[in-house]
Amino acid sequence: MGALVPVRSSIRISWERSEASRVDVDRPSPSYVDRVDRESTLSRAARPVIDALTSELHNEPVCIILTDSKGTVLDRRGGDPALLRRLDSVDLAPGFRYAESDVGTNGIGTALEVGGPILVDGAEHYTGPLRMFSCAGALITHPVTGGLLGVVDITTHANNSNSLLLSFAKLAARRIQQLVVEEANALDHALLSDYYAACRHSGGSVLALGDEVFMMNSHAQQRFDAIDQAALIDRTRDARGGTKPEVFLADLPSGLVARLAYHPTFVGDTLAGGVIQIKEQRTAVRSVTSARTPSIPGAAEASAVWRHVTQEVLDACSRGEWLVAEGEPGVGKLTLLRAAHDHVSPNRRLVVLDPTETATADELLSEAYEELDSGADLIIRHAHLLTSEVLDGLAALLQNVRDGAQAREPWVALTVLADRSEISDQLSIQLLRYFPRTVAVPPLRYHLEDVPALVRSLLTKAGVTDLTFSTMAMNQLMRLPWAGNVTHLRSVLAAVARRRRSGLVELEDLPPECLATTRRQLTAIEALERDAIVEALSAHRGDKPAAAIALGMSRATIYRKIRDYGIVT
């Protein structure tokens, strides 16, 4: 009878902890985390190290795994197809938590428990299916604060185990720690530089915000009291993490309206944070007539952003000032212009001309001339699509109007796309010079708090008055990016109304596209896959393993897809 192989004390104690946690010895059951931060400081610093290590071990059946401080897998790289299939079979994949209390003794969870690097060879794993692997885990700590950031783990087949695995893991951890400090220094320096530059050039109130940094200059501290400062800080949450410049408004408790202009700071492709310059907006003096709420979708309970743009259009319309409304497709440019005109000049006729609906350039120009000559007001929709011939003719026509050819000067407005690449030089030179003001109509994702009021307004307009949305369903609508803006929302409501014309709309009644919150544009194939996963989850009452079997996916794959598409389960 062979002698029993002695077990290291660290492994024996780990088995005792695993037994006390009631870990299943026959099958690992790691918990799954719906959302993991793949753009954290750790992830960014680790990426080039893992890239290099993967290249070094390119021909080896070795997988490099990065986890956060709780053992949740953030990244998994390398490995041959056979190794990857085996890892998927035990859910050692992004999004799954390999804490020792979940899956027993392993290179990730045990390294976290003992607070140091460890190599766990095949038979040393507590759970049977994990014994086909050997894994070496090394802790990644913050070189300055000493805080635990995560674990880098190198896993291979048990029969390929080598003591060098742990050396590679420890070396990778040290490289990542060095990059954490380098990146933090570079990001903080860049943000501080932009902050000081904004303070010098603006002479006004300036804020700066990063992952670990928040600064407010003395001008802002003196100009705004503590309550207004708290409101400003709260409003900056809209900008945090933003990668593009944007402008938004904040209604402050004191009654002031602040205009916040956010500009991001980058180091290479990495966002360091952003600087916000604050200016106080002059409150418009409104007449009794303009104080009435116009019949614009969502205006009755509008956000500060929508109220502001509405008032800008009303002010221009009431003064007869020619106007350009620019914005993404579907934001409601035409609806806003029409509503403002009906509010200010309800007895005047308004005509809308659209180059996409007019057969020829001559017909469009002829119709524009006749309508303006008759005394009608005019909106030219999709002005960015006008041909050179039409632009020449319209420029001459508008010059005649300006010269006093009509007894009463009509009101004229244009709608154009916000994308400046779509605006030709000829349009800018020949036509836009007649329009002293441009109003930017914001995309729906910038004022999602208006979604409930818009839903009620759009349903009422469609004649669907007996349909209401549950709190969960409405909250889900308010999480979506709405790539097609209000037009997109209208089409979703139409789809809901086709299936249910009265009663309460629950979360499961929403179309599949509404049960995913990813903000990137999906390809047609990805959209079909997303819908198939949503439908499978619905058919199996949210049972992810059952849905995976029905779709022919592994459990790890369906969890990854659910996370990538932002599917609500």
Is the whole-model pTM more than 0.85?
Answer: no
Is the same domain home to 269 and 236? yes
Is the same domain home to 296 and 425? yes
Domain boundary among 420, 442, 464: 442
Q: How far is CA 230 from CA 199, 203, 233, 279, 459, in A?
A: 20, 21, 5, 16, 37
Is the same domain home to 428 and 551? no
Ranges of residues in the chain whose predicted pLDDT is under 50? 1-4, 283-295, 297-300
212 domain-assigned? yes
pLDDT confidence of residue 302: 67
359 domain-assigned? yes
pLDDT confidence of residue 64: 96
Question: Strands 214-216 and 246-251, how do they pair?
Answer: unpaired
Under 8 Å between Cβ of 271 and 265: yes
Sheet containing 246-251: which strands, arranged edge to edge? 214-216, 205-209, 270-281, 257-267, 246-251
Q: What is the CATH number of the domain that holds 90?
A: 3.30.450.40
- Strand positions, DSSP E, 396-551: 412-417, 437-440, 467-469, 503-505
Is the same domain home to 246 and 330? no
Domain boundary among 281, 308, 330: 281
Helices (H), 462-569: 471-477, 485-499, 524-539, 544-551, 555-565
189 domain-assigned? no
pLDDT confidence of residue 227: 74
Tally the residues of the chain: 569
- Interval 225-284: pLDDT, tens: 877 787 788 778 767 778 889 887 877 767 788 889 999 999 888 888 899 999 987 544
pLDDT confidence of residue 524: 66
pLDDT confidence of residue 300: 45
CA 247, 251, 253 angle in degrees (round to 5)?
145
Phi–psi pair at 437, nearest 5 degrees? -135, 140
Is the same domain home to 432 and 484? no
State which amino acid sits at residue 355. P
Residues 6+ apart with CB under 8 A from 548: 554, 555, 557, 558
Cα 533 to Cα 556: distance, rounded to the nearest angstrom: 14
Cα 361 to Cα 444: distance, rounded to the nearest angstrom: 33
Under 8 Å between Cβ of 97 and 90: no
415 domain-assigned? yes
pLDDT confidence of residue 504: 93
128 domain-assigned? yes
Question: Strands 467-469 and 412-417, how do they pair?
Answer: unpaired
Is the same domain home to 137 and 270? no
Residue 124 is part of which domain span?
9-182
Is the same domain home to 321 and 276? no
Is the same domain home to 432 and 457? no
pLDDT confidence of residue 518: 63
Q: What is the CATH number of the domain that holds 424?
A: 3.40.50.300
- H or E, element range at 199: helix 164-202
pLDDT confidence of residue 421: 61
Domain count, the chain: 4
